[in-house]
Structure 1
Amino acid sequence: MTLDKLLSLPQLQSLSDTSVLMARLVVGSFLIWGVLDNILSAERMAEFVSFLTAHKFPWPEFMAWLSVWAQFLIGVSFILGLGIRLAGLLCMVNFIVAIVMVDMHGGIRASFSSACLILFGFYFATTGGGLMALDRLIMRHDIPHD
């Protein structure tokens, strides 16, 4: 095996769409899991409203509802690969707000999860959902090859 093949590992290229699908499934599931308790429990949603109030968010009741449902729908979008570029942008915005309003006060460790979600949002917004995405099936001719 030559050095260039050893360093570039071309045999892994065939798994690139699988890796995008796996990232979509993991990140989407994480987003849904993170807010499902707020959706299913009025008590948990009230705790989130109190959290946002303590961090001086404007309109905490509305912002809690908006953030929870945005994250849920973004997670669904990532899993299905449907509307993934828009969902990626929304994911970026949501977690930039999280860092600016909450996480940055706790330092880099507190910001890391939100920063990773910003990067995944950016990745999905710029590359799309890959070949195994509903976007690809629905708009075959409108989406450039990811």
Structure 2
Amino acid sequence: MKTLRLLLGDVVLLVARLALGAVLILRGWSRLMAEGGMGAQVQYLTDRQVPAPEIMAWGATIFELGGGAFLVFGLLTPLIGAVLAVEQILVIVWTNWFNGLQGGPSGPGFETNLAQASMGLAFLAFGGGRAALDNLFKRPKDDVGEQQVMNDELADEPGQDGQESLLPIS
């Protein structure tokens, strides 16, 4: 059962990484290619009195393009998740907070930003799963430590009668 749970977790993290990575790339690309280009984005941030609007506009766009690609491949997933959470919280505070959760006539709400910040926190906490390229850069475990982990996992598996074993497996 634990193996199935681990596999399901890896599949969920893979799907979430691919989906959010694609969304970020699409959003960054649309900012670059929108009518008015980055000038329109800078003006939008200037109108909302965001500090250093040109740096923020370019920084967000570059992060969304690069960070989205990194998420798709599962590279630096916890770091990308942390930066995404911070970015989305800043977007909420600086541009969407006063429009409310769902928005209204004055502009868009922050429900999407809140969902993306939450996903960023999930990637920070859980990484990208075993299908992420992050795993290529992990140090291999020593044999003794790996054997102990395997024994601990086996001890967590329920016995034939459905009860968990309280005895360590040696």
TM-score range, shorter chain: 0.7 to 0.9
Report what 1:4 is aligned to. Answer: none
Report what 1:67 is aligned to. Answer: 60
Report what 1:122 is aligned to. Answer: 121
Aligned-CA RMSD value: 2.2
Superposition TM-score, scaled by structure 2 size: 0.72
Q: 2:36 and 2:58 mapped to 1: Cα distance?
A: 13
C-alpha deviation, 1:39, in angstroms: 3.1
Q: Is the partner of 1:82 in helix, strand or coil? A: coil
C-alpha deviation, 1:33, in angstroms: 0.3
Alignment of 1:65-144 (within 5 A): 65-109=58-102, 110-141=109-140
Instruction: Structure 1: give runs of 5+ residues left out of the alignment.
Output: 1-8
Q: 2:35 and 2:140 mapped to 1: Cα distance?
A: 44
C-alpha deviation, 1:97, in angstroms: 0.3
- Rg larger in structure: 2
Between structures 1 and 2, the one with greater helix share: 1
C-alpha deviation, 1:64, in angstroms: 0.6
Q: 1:100 and 1:141 mapped to 2: Cα distance?
A: 42
Instruction: Structure 2: give runs of 5+ residues left out of the alignment.
Output: 103-108, 142-148, 150-170
Report what 1:46 is aligned to. Answer: 39
C-alpha deviation, 1:114, in angstroms: 0.4
Of 37, 44, 57 in structure 1, the residue corresponding to residue 30 of structure 2 is 37
Q: How many residues align?
A: 135
C-alpha deviation, 1:41, in angstroms: 5.9
Superposition TM-score, scaled by structure 1 size: 0.83
| Greater CA drift, 66-75 or 96-105 | 66-75
